[in-house]
């Protein structure tokens, strides 16, 4: 249960994540580029960050707030979520790339990069962060299965 004093923070986080700068805006960009087979990587990366990464970051940040985490910990959890979301999206895109070797290699490297980055954000949690690290490990395992 979210503490009363944190309710406004949680509402603010929700509003930001669901708004035009994140999920809603990302969805609009996604629809705008739906038939663009040659979408630039920078645009695709921005869409991924605004949608999938924003959603995962929101979940992590709200979890931190619900647990009474301070601002610094909440920010670390948010960054963990951003990186986890970008890794998850890269792994998901591997299913859609038609097994083109160059694209598969790029997405695998991207997944590994963001999982490593996400784990660095939560190193201070030590044993308490094991369940979060497990999520990252599960994404890496999924990538290994897709590659085969």
Query: Whole-angstrom Cα distance, residue 65 to residue 11?
Result: 11
Q: Tens digits of per-residue pLDDT, 41-70?
A: 999 999 999 999 999 999 999 999 888 888
Buried b (16+ CB within 10 A) or exposed e, 129-140: beebbeebeebe
Task: Please give the pLDDT value at position 3.
Answer: 56
pTM of the predicted protein model: 0.89
**pLDDT above 90 (res 112):** yes
Label each residue of 49-71 as H, E or C: HHHHHHHHHHHHHHHHHHCCCCH
**pLDDT above 90 (res 78):** yes
Task: Please give the pLDDT value at position 1.
Answer: 59
Q: Tens digits of per-residue pLDDT, 29-43?
A: 999 998 888 889 999
Look at the alpha carbons of 113, 41, 81, 91 in this order and tell me if their dihedral is positive or negative.
negative
Task: Please give the pLDDT value at position 18.
Answer: 92
Average pLDDT, the chain: 91
């Amino acid at each position: 249960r979210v503490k009363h004093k944190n309710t406004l923070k949680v509402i603010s986080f929700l509003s930001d994540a669901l708004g035009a700068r994140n999920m809603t805006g990302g969805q609009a960009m996604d629809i705008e580029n739906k038939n663009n087979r040659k979408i630039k990587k920078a645009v695709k990366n921005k869409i991924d960050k605004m949608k999938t990464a924003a959603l995962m970051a929101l979940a992590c940040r709200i979890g931190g707030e619900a647990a009474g985490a301070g601002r610094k910990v909440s920010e670390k959890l948010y960054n963990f979520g951003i990186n986890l979301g970008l890794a998850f999206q890269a792994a998901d895109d591997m299913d859609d790339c038609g097994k083109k070797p160059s694209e598969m290699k790029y997405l695998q490297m991207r997944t590994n990069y963001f999982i490593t980055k996400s784990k660095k954000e939560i190193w201070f949690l030590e044993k308490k962060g094991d369940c979060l690290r497990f999520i990252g490990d599960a994404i890496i395992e999924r990538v290994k299965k897709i590659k085969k």
